[in-house]
Amino acid sequence: MLDGIDQWVMDVISALGYLGLALLLVAENLFPPIPSEIVLPLAGFLVGRGDLNFWGALVAATLGSVLGALILYALGRWGGRRLVLRYGSWLRVDKKRLDRAEGWFRSYGDWVVLFARVVPVARSIISIPAGTARMPLARFVVLTTIGSALWNAVLIGAGVFLGANWALVQDWIGSYSNTVLVVATVAVAVFLVLYYFRRER
């Protein structure tokens, strides 16, 4: 039985179909209470039930993801850090998270936009430093589309596979997020050690 945000997401998709799914993914980029870990597996459940088509759901979700990312990109590009932090409470962005995302962008360049799209929380925030760094718009859109499509396909597919148990995806994402953070921390540590020894030589 659905309750709270789950029921609201179900009502939106049931009423508006693919348009509703796209709008939910736009909102997911901007507002904390609408996580893709709920929206996408639930959409997958509806695909498995025959209410939606898999490819239609994937296109709608990816379009919504890209549009939401573009709003944050524009905010970073034309508003700058000051405006972003001013409205950070609405965007689930604080100074610490923004500093971290900007650090990733400086360290790994444009490609971090692609890889961050499959990391919870980071997948939205990374659009802001891409904007403040004035990353070329076409490149931003291409990398965001690829990363978003991958994330959306996996979560929608999980919802199809799990059926009525689609809500289990939220638990999996929590474990996945922790794993990603550990792997990223180890990778950065190894990079710093190798960089140090290279300089010493």
> What type of residue is 93?
V
Report pLDDT for 64.
95
Closest CA to 122 of 154, 142, 138, 144: 144
* Spacing of C-alpha 197 from chain mean position: 35
E-assigned strands of the chain? none
Residue 156 has phi, psi (to 5 degrees) of -65, -45
CA distances from 115 to 57, 101, 118, 124, 197 (A): 22, 12, 6, 12, 27
Report pLDDT for 188.
44
Report pLDDT for 61.
94
SS (H, E, C) 39-65: HHHHHHHHHHHCCCCHHHHHHHHHHHH
Report pLDDT for 145.
92
Report pLDDT for 175.
47
pTM for the model stands at 0.75
For the chain, which residues score pLDDT lower than 50?
1, 175-192, 195
Report pLDDT for 93.
65
Element housing 84 (H / E) = helix 80-86
Report pLDDT for 79.
74
Report pLDDT for 66.
95
Q: Tokens 């962008």 appear where?
A: 105
